Amino acid sequence: MNYCPCCSAQLLPHIRHNHIYWFCSRCRQEMPVIDGVKVKDHQELPLINPLNPLLSQRILVTVE
């Protein structure tokens, strides 16, 4: 399962124009698909095809 990096809610997969993205129903925001590499605490991961150019090119992920 994938969780929102902002609120930790479960993300819902969506497809639009042949592109997959994640949607957080709590934040009501689209979340870009991030690389599925093993994540260590506070590791930065590059984003794949960010949906919004205003989004950062990296996201900080914290694993509990």
User: What is the pLDDT at residue 37?
Assistant: 45
Q: Is residue 50 part of a domain?
A: yes
Nearest to 37 by CA among 26, 25, 45: 45
Residue 1 counted as domain residue: no
- Domains in the chain, number: 1
- Residue 4, domain member (yes or no): no
Domain-embedded: residue 46: yes
Question: Does a structural domain hold residue 16?
Answer: yes
- The pTM of the full predicted model, rounded to 2 decimals, is 0.48
Q: What's residue 45's pLDDT?
A: 56
Where in the sequence is the domain holding 33, given as residue range(s)?
11-61
3 pLDDT tier (thresholds 50, 70, 90): confident
pLDDT in tens, 22-62: 889 898 888 877 655 444 455 555 555 555 555 544 555 65
pLDDT, residue 17, reads 84
Whether residue 29 lies inside any domain: the answer is: yes
6 assigned to some structural domain = no
Secondary structure string (H, E, C) spanning 9-52:
CEEEEEEECCEEEEEECCCCEEECCECCCCCCCCEEEEECCCCC
Specify if 2 maps to a domain. no
